[in-house]
Chains A and B, each alone.
Chain A
Amino acid sequence: MKFFAKVAMALEGVTIAFEAIKSNKVRAALTISGVAVGVFVVVAMAAAVHGIRESFQKDLDEFGATTFQINRRDPGNNQCNSPDDPCPDRKNPPVSLDELHAIQGLPEVAYAVARIGTSTTMTYRDHQLKAVGYDAYTTDWIRTDRADISPGRSFTESENQSAAPLIIVNDTLKSQLFGDSDPLGKEITLEGKPFTVIGVFHTKAGFLKTLNGTGPDQPRAIVPMMTAWRHLSVYKRGIGVSVMPQPSITRDDAMDAVTALLRSRRGIKPGANNSFYLVGEDRIMDIFNQFFGAVFLVGMTLSGVGLLVGGVGVVAIMMISVTERTREIGVRKALGATAGIILWQFLVEAATLTTLGAAIGLVIGAILAELVKIYTPIPASIPPEAVIVALVAAAGTGILFGMMPAARAARMDPVESLRHE
């Protein structure tokens, strides 16, 4: 049949679909709600994953595109949680302070910063805060973290080496312990030992920090690495190192240099596995994608179920619609509509129903994403391609499930259908 007729029929089908929806609001609502729910679920989920991924990427960019970490264990391997797990990484030694110094001495490396994170009770006079998180850092932390300290200052290398009892607090810890008074020079007690406040740092907001409870609204402190090493009970095997290569050096080259250094220092034979892991931004992203890929798959399954339910609804409403409009179909055939045109008309109608459902689901999903963004730390945002995928999938569902009722309409005998009351 002619192209014009098809387009005209498509437009008419859309109009008819809207008329049918208007005249049968409840039935239409039930039909499209399945599709709407399916689309809504997948859009909300896609928005969350997309938002998390984007801000995660931003965190990583801030962290530095060439910066990488030296870990004892493979961060992507989750089989190291109990002593019974087959986990060869457990035998790996932590990076020692000597190794750290050697890495710092490599020509490819601009800075290498060691960190041990833990928490303890902090006291100032009668103010006592339990389980305040703090980091023990080597001196260059201020460069890799691009930290901003005011008022006050960070500690010097000689203060670090002499294990001076100095502490830097963040804004939240400062106001919780000292209120509005000047924190500099005041003494905080950690594990019974006095630490002098020398500066206030400002925790940068970041999605990961918010997720693991180290965001700007949490009290937090930083002490020199050697001070913690000698005077505080920190888990020395939990030491982690961030390496920032020289600006002219690629990350891979810097990683190769660090690998060669550690292998020779540790006496690892050629062919034997490394007893450490170098983790770049891409690896972290891989792990992220692995995890959220699974989340996404669940979302797709859920929305698939939604579309299936919606599709069954489409079959039901279209079957009723076809029966109710038997006479109309007869008239259309008498006026020259072929079976193909009738089929097309009802398919367009079914697709209109499901696409409308998808549009509603998208709107609800967008509203929810906005609410999530406002009221939770998850920066949800709908990826534009998800909108297209949702609409196309919904239209496809309409066409697929509309096929049976549409074929029934197309096959109707004109004489019989004209006689239908």
Chain B
Amino acid sequence: MNNSDKIKRSGPVLFSEYEKGSSVKKALEMEREEILFEIKDSGLKGRGGAGFPVSTKWMLTAAANAEQKFIVCNADEGEPGTFKDRVLLMEYPWLVFEGMIIAGYTVGAKNGIVYLRAEYSYLLEFLEDYIDDLRKENLLGKNICGRDFEFDINIILGAGAYVCGEETALIESLEGHRGEPRNRPPFPVNTGYLGFPTSVNNVETLSSVPHIIMKGSDWYNKFGTEKSSGSKLISVSGDCNYPGVYEVSWGTTLNEIIELTGAENTKAMQIGGASGVCLPASEFHRTLAYEDIATGGSIMIFNKDRSMLEVLKNFMEFFVEESCGQCTPCRIGNVKLLEGVEMIEKKDYTPEYIDKLKDLGKTMQIASKCGLGQTSPNPFISILENFKDEIFSKN
């Protein structure tokens, strides 16, 4: 286990005191609607990055008319620079699984599936043993806690594609197909795994649920900002003294993060991984919040010695590699953007062509089929804009 695997700061929300199994017992005493309203009042939003309200997703899944429903835990943590879900799975698996059980009870699903990224396959045995324990403790299986409720969880390994973090590509992969996004609509809450209503939730999202059930939405709302309740796990890497996982309240500024992690001479921060935005020092007063800079949790810090063009090239190479190849804008567009970066690198470009590529990037943002292609031009646009002096003066 390397240094960054350790939890550097346990905040007061996700890592607050919690008795294993207690939330499931409490939830099963509640009406399904009560749980939905509690989650709704808590304002919990998806922690994978997109920030979709959890209660809405669950409500739609619950309302869908079908023989079967599924809860899928998205543990395909693939955004470059994020490793917080791994920490939750390793050190707090009960929170994840209990969140799934409560979700299953709430929407009326009998099956939960954890889609575990291939790179975390070393966790498989540990997690399966843990699920076995839950079965023994009657928190999984039939008549859970003596109630008329049945739920079980199994784990399916991914095969290493970044795009499978996108929920519909994840479902395709679960079904044994090429991991490629589907058309939306229909959304998974209506037509998901095997065509059945499916709620796909991030590891961290599910881990928040047991706390909300036990401590209530009012308690949860005490943390964070008005529009972003609770806390966020962030994985900090790059040029800082204390990389690792931190639980911070929503509303934390980038400057505070620099201070927490002991970063020096920071030139830029990439928030939200490769698909996020790259901000210069002049923006470090801004906050992590759905209403300001939303993030799935990846924060990369770059100090003054870093070449931002090299950073950008690295990101674009990543997207060229990870585009699923299905839709035109993403499959070819990313290649064109990377070529543009290489042109700048070789000092063989015209400003007009680079502008044309930025324009192309804007098309990709609205024309690509899924979030991958819609966000992959972000670093191209934000780095070339925010660091234009450095990049173009040198070149």
A binds B: no
Q: Which residues of B contact A (CB under 8 A)?
A: none
State the A residues within 8 Å of B (CB).
none
